[in-house]
Amino acid sequence: MVKKVILVLLLLQMLGIVQAQRFEWAKGYASSQQGTEIKGQVADREGNLYILGTFRNDSRWDDEPLLPMTPYGYFHDNNNVLIAKISPSGQMLWKKVIHGNNGQNALAHDIKPLGDTAFACLVEATLPAPTLYEYCYYLDTLLTELDGYPIAPFEGAWMNGRYTILLMVDFSGRVLEQHFLKVTYTDSLGNDIVTQAGSNVTFDSYPLRDPSFDIDAEGNIYLSRMAFDYIDAERCVETGVIQGLKFWADHRMVGTVHFADKPSLYNLQLLAFSPHFDTLLASRYLFQHYVGHIPNTYLRLDRYGDLYALGSVVVRGINDTIVVDAERGISFPITEATLNKGYLVKLDSALTPIYCVTLEDSVRNGDILTSSQSFFNNICFDDDSGLCFVSGFIQRNHGTTALVTLNGVPTRIEKNDAFVISFHTDSGDIHSHAVIPSISSSHLGSSYANNNLAASSNRIFVQNAYYGGVRYPNDTIVLSGNNPSLGLSVFDYKGNMIEGHDFRATSPLNRPGPLALIDSALYMSNLFVSSASFGDIQVPEQGYHACIAKYVDTSFITPYRAAVPADTDTVSIVHPDYGAPQPSIHPNPAADALYVSSGGMPLGAAAAISVLGMRQSLPFVGNVVDVSSLPPGVYIMETIINNIKYNFKFIKL
């Protein structure tokens, strides 16, 4: 009788009547000091999570200290970098720590996947040197001095300075490559510029400031840096200004950039390097205009190798047009009242701009043009629908209703709204937008890019902060005054909210962080300084707590389809119910083997995904898939047929 009940429940779940939807765990590391957060995370096909974050010396994971030993010395309370692998059950499988006892914070910047076997991360750190401060941890190894010479596993790195470091790590924790990056300034003769009497600009002075990166399928490396590329004449020993830059990787000069005039302060520079940083392939200052720039740039490549640069510019006190590319007529206007302006620029692999998306806010309070700010925080893609998604928020310190447009298209975005916009990657035309409704305001935690966006199967996921209450389809939270909280919002590709979760965390210091989505599992990280809840899982107040929560929903594997009128425009998604005829499987339920009917097309891959989000590759011969090794239960079988992904629900007996 029990077996029959279980089988009925499994069948109902397979048919979508019963749905596995729950928070499985919430874990993290806590510190008594500020400076603890997770900057980014990626997941592999088995559901393991790889995180990049910062932590303080007293931080602990599962009550174990993150540093191998208690730090000592003058500068024992700096920020450290953590690179770690987390299992699908929330256990830390391995970690890499960068800690310098030298008065300098180690900084985590960005993380990206490298195919299906490795990832890359960008950090900043000061390496050990024969000075008063005699040790550091580098990738969880304690490095010390011996007779005045540092012991370090590096080749070609300077031992006395601060570096931007690009690390490539496989999923077992083995470092595949590491590159130590610098930029130096030169005069018209190519000599290093002297900025102050007795002080040269040397290799040990300038890492890449506030960088982001991505790596294409050929291994070419794209980097951005906030360029502090001007030197005040009063500080220069020689007359004039800098005339060029040298870029260095592992003590080798790999490229130069020359210019005749002083470049803009805080302009954004984009760089393209060949694999392993052998050569500088291309360089471009993004704006052909004097602008300020806030350090929130985020780079992302699409599957075609085109580059997207997202961020905000500071444009106080000008009433002009910011030019991205004069030859192609790519620019956007700035009013005298604009403070910060979000932008997204698409460029080809040679760093030539293709288009620019901006948010316009026409605000008038009587006859006075009042100030506004817009921020773009993150970008992700959906290759099936050809859409690109950008998260951001708009902030105005007044109550005037405004006309907000995206490239001239009116929106329903209002004062202090967090939003997600989607547009077509080929043209930049706006497709739709979604707004997170709040009684007072909603935003994305800060003006900095924070990887807080994911999209798949006609669903967009975004974490947000809000004040005064937010309304979700499955819940309504109403708080008096400006009480804050964090939440997860889920939309379809047309901007309709599907569901939401409130974490019931009530400190204004709480901040949403990165998301990682793999099949039916969504990993979300946050910074909490108050208690919070993920469903029935409670996170107690623990000082500054970098928290990761795993949310599982088996419906994430198949496209969401709302009940809409027949004449409503829908988003095309390549999926088994799109086009005809479609592949099928039999028998179902199955004990040993499943046959995939695919119209004569061979299988390219097969895997089973459990209701817990666990993934297991399946052997197959021709179109027959061996499922004999699977425990009994309900699964999604994922197959690749003619380069298209198809998912089938089935029961293993």
Q: What is the mean pLDDT of residues 394-418?
A: 63
Least confident of 193-207, 271-285, 313-327, 516-530: 193-207
pLDDT band, residue 24 (cuts 50/70/90): very high
pLDDT given for residue 576 in this prediction: 33
Q: For residue 47, count other CB atoms closer than 10 A to its CB.
A: 24
Mean pLDDT of the chain: 78
Instruction: State yes or no: pLDDT of 310 exceeds 50.
Output: yes
Domain residue spans in the chain?
A: 174-285, 290-502, 584-652
- Are 277 and 181 within 8 A, CB to CB? yes
C-alpha–C-alpha distance, residues 421 and 429, integer Å: 11
Q: What is the mean pLDDT of residues 401-418?
A: 64
Least confident of 121-130, 211-220, 472-481, 567-576: 567-576
Give pLDDT tens digits for 238-258.
444 567 888 999 888 999 988
Instruction: State yes or no: pLDDT of 172 exceeds 80.
Output: yes
Report pTM.
Answer: 0.81
Which range is most confident: 132-141, 222-231, 286-295?
222-231
pLDDT given for residue 158 in this prediction: 56
Which range is most confident: 118-132, 287-301, 624-638?
624-638
Which range is most confident: 54-63, 141-150, 251-260, 429-438?
54-63
Q: Is 98 exposed, middle or buried (0-12, 13-18, 19+ CB in 10 A)?
A: buried
State in Å, rounded, how far the first CA of the chain is from the last one: 16
pLDDT band, residue 79 (cuts 50/70/90): confident
Q: Which candidate, 393, 423, 418, places its Cα nearest to that of 312? A: 393
Q: What is the mean pLDDT of residues 119-140?
A: 75
pLDDT given for residue 550 in this prediction: 96
Q: What is the mean pLDDT of residues 17-25?
A: 73
Q: What strands, in cross-sheet order, belong to the sheet with 221-227?
A: 212-215, 221-227, 267-273, 280-285
Torsion of CA 380, 53, 45, 632, to 10 degrees: -120
Instruction: State yes or no: pLDDT of 106 exceeds 80.
Output: yes
E strands along 217-297, which residues?
221-227, 244-249, 252-258, 267-273, 280-285, 292-293
Q: What residue has token string 């050569």? A: 279
- Are 299 and 214 within 8 A, CB to CB? yes
How far CA 386 is from CA of 407, 424, 458, 573, in Å, comes to 19, 6, 12, 9
Q: Which residue has the higher pLDDT, 450 or 159?
A: 450
Give pLDDT tens digits for 349-386.
999 999 998 876 655 444 444 556 778 889 999 877 88
C-alpha–C-alpha distance, residues 464 and 484, integer Å: 11
- Rounded to 5°, the CA angle 273-426-306 comes to 5
pLDDT given for residue 408 in this prediction: 61
Q: What is the mean pLDDT of residues 39-61?
A: 92
pLDDT given for residue 300 in this prediction: 94
Give pLDDT tens digits for 453-478.
999 989 999 998 888 777 777 655 55
- % of the chain with per-residue pLDDT over 70: 72
Q: What is the CA radius of gyration of the chain?
A: 26
pLDDT band, residue 132 (cuts 50/70/90): very low
pLDDT band, residue 81 (cuts 50/70/90): very high
E strands along 32-174, which residues?
37-43, 49-55, 60-61, 64-65, 80-86, 92-100, 107-114, 118-126, 135-138, 141-146, 149-150, 162-170
Q: Which residue has the higher pLDDT, 177 or 128?
A: 177
Q: What residue has token string 């979760």? A: 501
C-alpha–C-alpha distance, residues 491 and 571, integer Å: 13
Q: Which two tokens stand for residue 124?
A: 């900043």
- % of the chain with per-residue pLDDT over 90: 26
Give pLDDT tens digits for 545-603.
999 999 999 888 888 876 544 334 434 333 333 333 568 888 888 888 888 887 777 78
Q: What residue has token string 């985590």? A: 108
Q: What residues form DSSP beta bridges with 146? A: 149
Q: What residue has token string 């005045």? A: 148
pLDDT given for residue 152 in this prediction: 52
Q: Which two tokens stand for residue 60?
A: 């602990």
Q: Which residue has the higher pLDDT, 33 or 24?
A: 24
Assign domain 584-652 one CATH number from 2.60.40, 2.30.30, 3.30.450, 1.10.3470: 2.60.40
Q: What is the mean pLDDT of residues 616-625?
A: 86
pLDDT band, residue 412 (cuts 50/70/90): low
C-alpha–C-alpha distance, residues 349 and 352, integer Å: 7
